Amino acid sequence: MFKPTLLKSTRFLCLVLTLMFCASHNLIFSQSNQIQRVRISFTSPDNAIRQLLLGFTPNDAATDDFDWGYDARNPDNFPNDLNWMINDERFVIQGVGSFADTKSYPLGMFLSDEGNISIGLHSLENFDFDVQVYLYDALVDEHTLLNQIDFTGDFSPGNYINRFYITFSANSYPQALSVAEVDIQNLNFEYHRNNKLIQMSDSPTLVYISQISLFDMSGKKIFSQKVQDSATFNLEGINLPDGPLLCQINTNIGSKSKIIIP
């Protein structure tokens, strides 16, 4: 449960959301000091602050899906917010199984206002070993180490789904965007805008495209098609929006993503 506290000044209004656990509510999540907690802080364009809680349970008492007593849905309707996404629903608390640095957890960012946002690591609790916490941006295929620096950016209004993930290794990727453990340096493709042709680059290994997917800047999938083992794919005749798109290519040896302008 969240208790909103309003901090007013002549410069800005900051909404601080504090996690309040109460024994009278019989939340299993709050009753164990053995739960390893990761607290994420989000500052919105209107300077409101949202804290999210991710808890790793001993003996895999919870799962990555919805679990009664461990997960809390977002009870609020704020104009700008960041939430955990579980089965396409929005949560502010997520309890999961035992910690593993190969895991990743999707976030959904929902903005009504344009402006600067930041996502940072607020605190770690009950870990007896070093934990690296990253924000993975699937649009640009980059990890930000939140232990050292906040992720910041200027964003337009919109819903940003399937773009941001919390991971615990710079080599960890969401399952939907995972890459094979191959010599990925040799995997690349080119986009020829003049004839709208996507072509795999030369590689020591014979590479074929098996599927192509296109996402807009908010992370929404706008096109996906399986390909019959071809080294090229033509976007001619496909109705695509103006502006940059994230192009994800699945091949017989792994996956590669880059931004293209159709």
| 197: Cβ contacts below 8 Å, ≥ 6 apart | 191, 232, 233, 234, 235
| 147: Cβ contacts below 8 Å, ≥ 6 apart | 121, 131, 132, 133
List the one residue out of 224, 215, 212 whose CA is nearest residue 244.
215
- Residue 29 backbone phi and psi in degrees, to 5: -60, -30
* Beta-strand runs (E) in the chain: 2-8, 13-19, 36-43, 49-56, 72-73, 80-86, 89-96, 104-111, 115-125, 134-137, 142-145, 151-155, 158-167, 189-192, 197-200, 209-215, 221-230, 232-234, 245-251, 255-260
Q: Dihedral, CA atoms, 227, 229, 233, 237, nearest 10 degrees? A: -40
The reported pLDDT for the residue numbered 185 is: 52
List the one residue out of 149, 161, 83, 152 whose CA is nearest residue 116.
152
- Collapsing DSSP states into helix, strand and coil, what is residue 67? coil
Architecture label for domain 184-260: Sandwich (2.60)
The reported pLDDT for the residue numbered 28 is: 52
Per-position pLDDT tens, the chain of length 262: 333 333 333 233 333 333 333 333 334 555 556 899 999 999 999 999 999 999 999 989 999 999 999 999 999 999 999 999 999 899 999 999 999 999 999 999 999 998 999 999 999 999 999 999 999 988 777 899 999 999 998 888 888 888 899 999 988 767 654 444 334 556 788 899 899 999 888 655 577 888 899 988 877 888 999 888 788 899 988 988 888 999 988 887 777 888 898 8
Region at 87 (left for phi over 0; alpha for psi -120 to 50; beta for the rest)? left
The reported pLDDT for the residue numbered 32 is: 57
Residue reference for tokens 């309003």: 6
**Triad 84, 251, 238: Cα angle to 5°:** 80
- Residue 23 backbone phi and psi in degrees, to 5: -65, -30
| 130: Cβ contacts below 8 Å, ≥ 6 apart | none
List the one residue out of 106, 103, 164 whose CA is nearest residue 131.
103
The reported pLDDT for the residue numbered 4 is: 38
- Collapsing DSSP states into helix, strand and coil, what is residue 52? strand
| Assigned token pair, 254 | 């792994």
The reported pLDDT for the residue numbered 44 is: 97
- Collapsing DSSP states into helix, strand and coil, what is residue 75? coil
The reported pLDDT for the residue numbered 6 is: 35
| Alpha carbon distances (Å) from 211 to 232, 260, 262 | 11, 16, 18
The reported pLDDT for the residue numbered 248 is: 87
The reported pLDDT for the residue numbered 231 is: 86
Cα separation, 159 vs 80, in Å, equals 10
For the chain, residues classed under CATH 2.60.40.3080 are 184-260
| Assigned token pair, 166 | 């919390």
The reported pLDDT for the residue numbered 117 is: 96
